[in-house]
């Protein structure tokens, strides 16, 4: 059986790894690089690790696993009748096709957009690093985890870091939690401009509704756009992402989607953790085992040296369980939590919430 995977990100590579014995696996990837870690890009930009450490698997590793890696090959169309993937490097026949094309960074839509960089790929990171080393300072737009990771690491490395976010709170969390995270990052040296809307950019800085913020290097890190175009072009149903059910099936027979390109129940995963979890579930399904994917939001981050775990549903009625753990309730039951600092505790809590165990 031929399994063709489009995309060599964490979703694609995890699936290939798990099924390399059962299937003849081919990965089609438009970049010209083996798999690299996106979560480590801000560490690389900060100078905390050399570029080669971003690559967990060598080209030899793919070969030894029997995985055919077609690099520099862009998937253009799924020819569903002929069961062939049409790529820029030729046609690849499949029995099972998995779309794991991920997402791209959302572009700012303000005048002077050409003066703002985005961060998603290694080549984006190389460019930001080169500019940062010249300028010594950076303005980051966004209040999500990518913006905070980048801000934390660069401040820790000693750069001048400004973070501009249009909302009052970070990560979509409540005032108290957001305040604690802001405090930790301020301690690392990040300068915050919250409730500040960017109106335009030029070579020297950023125009906002609260005045002009000087700084030549500006990076936008506020959201993602799922890469659904391959599916749409091939007549596969899509909303914001490629629509899948809890077996990660798309609307086309023997075509599945996982990771940042997939939309399940109106939700796009948006993290490497989710992409890998979906790959593991799909590997079981394709190996003929009983499995389905139950969405459960859970993400663990480090902003400078401050650990933050966001688990389950983090809206609504809430209380502090202890000074670093805030739990959220739905109908009298704990439905989510945010843990600050102690990530071991966060893992225990994640398990308990997932399994519906009592929490004290
Ligand atoms: C700076 C940064 C920091 C992050 N930090 C974290 C973190 O701390 N924790 C966490 O869990 N997540 C983090 N993430 C998010 C995480 O990296 C993504 O959620 C994850 O990479 C998604 O995996 P994926 O396999 O779905 O897609 P991707 O990693 O986006 O991979 C998709 C691949 O498909 C390829 N592709 C796209 N279209 C085609 C085509 N038509 N033909 C061929 N190839 C194609 C792309 O080139 C890409 O290599 C971070 C992301 C960034 C950018």
pLDDT digits (tens, 9 = 90+) for 102-116: 999 999 999 999 999
- Going by C-beta distance under 8 Å and a sequence separation of 6 or more, which residues neighbour residue 197? 166, 208, 209
Counted domains in the chain: 3
Split at pLDDT 50, 70, 90, the class of 155 is very high
Domain region containing 346: 305-355
Pocket lining: 7 vs ligand 1, CB cutoff 6 Å: yes
Half-sphere exposure (CA, 13 Å, Cβ side) for 258?
Answer: 32
- 296 to each of 104, 270, 278, 312, how far by Cα in Å? 23, 12, 11, 6
Tell me the two tokens of residue 215.
Answer: 């700084």
**Same domain for 95 and 130?**
no
**What average pLDDT score do residues 324-348 get?**
93
pTM: 0.97
199: in domain: yes
DSSP states of 268-301: E--SHHHHHHHHHHHHHHHTT---------EEEE
142 lines ligand 1 (CB under 6 A): no
184 pLDDT exceeds 80? Answer: yes
Residue 165, pLDDT score: 98
- Residues 214, 139 share a domain: yes
**pLDDT category of residue 284 using cuts at 50, 70 and 90:** very high
Closest-lying ligand 1 atom to the alpha carbon of residue 76? 41
Confidence of residue 356 (pLDDT cuts 50, 70, 90): confident
Average pLDDT of the chain, as a whole number = 97
Closest by alpha carbon to 292, among 244, 335, 259?
244
Question: What number is the average pLDDT over the span 22-46?
Answer: 97
For residue 261, the ligand 1 atom closest to its alpha carbon is 26
Ligand 1 center–CA 241 separation, angstroms: 14
Q: Is the CB of 104 under 6 A from ligand 1?
A: no
The confidence band for 124, taking pLDDT boundaries of 50, 70 and 90, is very high
Nearest atom in ligand 1 to the alpha carbon of residue 41 is: 1
* Between 88 and 360, the higher pLDDT residue: 88
- Is the distance from CB of 34 to CB of 16 less than 8 angstroms? no
In a domain, 360, yes or no: no
29 lines ligand 1 (CB under 6 A): yes
Q: What is the 11 CA–ligand 1 centroid distance (Å)?
A: 8
Both tokens of 213, joined, read 């913020």
Exposure of 198 in the CB half-sphere (CA atoms within 13 A): 30
54 in the same domain as 138: no
Query: Are residues 55 and 80 part of one domain?
Result: yes
120 lines ligand 1 (CB under 6 A): yes
Shared domain for 215 and 229, answered yes or no, is no
Cα 263 to middle of ligand 1, angstroms: 15
Q: Judge whether residue 359 has pLDDT over 90.
A: no
Q: Using the predicted structure, report yes or no on whether residue 360 has a pLDDT greater than 80.
A: no
Residue 162 sits in a domain whose CATH number is 3.50.50.60
Confidence of residue 355 (pLDDT cuts 50, 70, 90): confident
- For 221-250, write each residue's pLDDT tens digit: 999 999 999 999 999 999 999 999 999 999
CA of 262, closest atom in ligand 1: 26
Q: Is 74 left (phi over 0), alpha (psi -120 to 50) or beta?
A: beta
How far, in Å, is the centroid of ligand 1 from the Cα of 18?
18
Residue 136 pLDDT: 98
User: Which residue owns the Cα nearest ligand 1 atom 3?
Assistant: 39
10 CA → ligand 1 middle, Å: 7
CA of 243 to the centre of ligand 1 (A): 18
Specify the pLDDT at position 25: 98
For the cut 90, the answer to whether the pLDDT of residue 332 exceeds it is: no
Instruction: Please write down the HEC assignment for all residues of 255-267.
Output: EEECHHHEEECCE
Q: Give the CA distances from residue 268 to residues 225, 226, 333, in Å, rounded to whole numbers and listed in that order.
A: 10, 8, 25
For residues 87 and 175, state if they share a domain. no
Backbone angles phi, psi at 205, to 5 degrees: 180, -160
Tally of CB atoms within 10 A around 95 = 12
């Amino acid at each position: 059986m031929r399994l063709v995977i489009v995309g060599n990100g964490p979703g694609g590579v995890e699936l290939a790894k798990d099924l390399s014995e059962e299937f003849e696996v081919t990965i089609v990837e438009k970049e010209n690089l083996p798999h690299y870690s996106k979560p480590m890009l801000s560490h690389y930009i900060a100078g905390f690790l050399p570029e080669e450490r971003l690559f967990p698997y060598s080209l030899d590793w793919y070969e030894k696993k029997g995985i055919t890696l077609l690099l520099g090959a862009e998937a253009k169309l799924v020819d569903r009748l002929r069961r062939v993937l049409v790529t820029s490097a030729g046609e690849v026949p499949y029995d099972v096709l998995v779309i794991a094309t991920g997402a791209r960074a959302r572009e700012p839509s303000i005048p002077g957009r050409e003066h703002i960089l985005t961060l998603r790929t290694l080549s984006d990171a190389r460019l930001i690093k080169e500019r940062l080393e010249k300028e010594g300072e950076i303005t980051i737009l966004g209040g999500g985890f990518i913006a905070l990771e980048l801000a934390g690491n660069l401040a820790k490395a000693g750069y001048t870091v400004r973070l501009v976010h249009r909302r009052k709170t970070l990560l979509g969390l409540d005032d108290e939690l957001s305040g604690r995270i802001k405090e930790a990052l301020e301690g690392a040296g990040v300068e915050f401009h919250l409730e500040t809307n960017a109106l335009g950019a030029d070579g020297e800085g950023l125009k906002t509704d609260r005045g002009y913020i000087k700084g030549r290097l500006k990076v936008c890190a506020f959201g993602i756009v799922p890469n659904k175009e391959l599916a749409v072009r091939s007549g596969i149903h899509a909303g914001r992402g490629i629509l899948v059910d809890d077996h990660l099936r798309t609307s086309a027979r023997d075509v599945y989607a996982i990771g940042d390109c997939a939309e399940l129940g109106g939700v796009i995963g948006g993290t490497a953790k989710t992409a890998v979890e979906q790959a593991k579930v799909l590997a079981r399904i394709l190996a003929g085992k009983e499995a389905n994917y139950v969405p459960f939001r859970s993400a663990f981050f480090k902003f400078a040296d401050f650990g933050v775990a966001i688990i389950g549903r983090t809206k609504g009625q809430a209380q502090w369980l202890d000074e670093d753990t805030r739990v959220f309730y739905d109908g009298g039951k704990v439905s989510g939590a945010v843990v600050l600092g102690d990530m071991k505790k966060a893992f225990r809590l994640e398990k308990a919430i997932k399994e519906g165990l009592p929490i004290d």
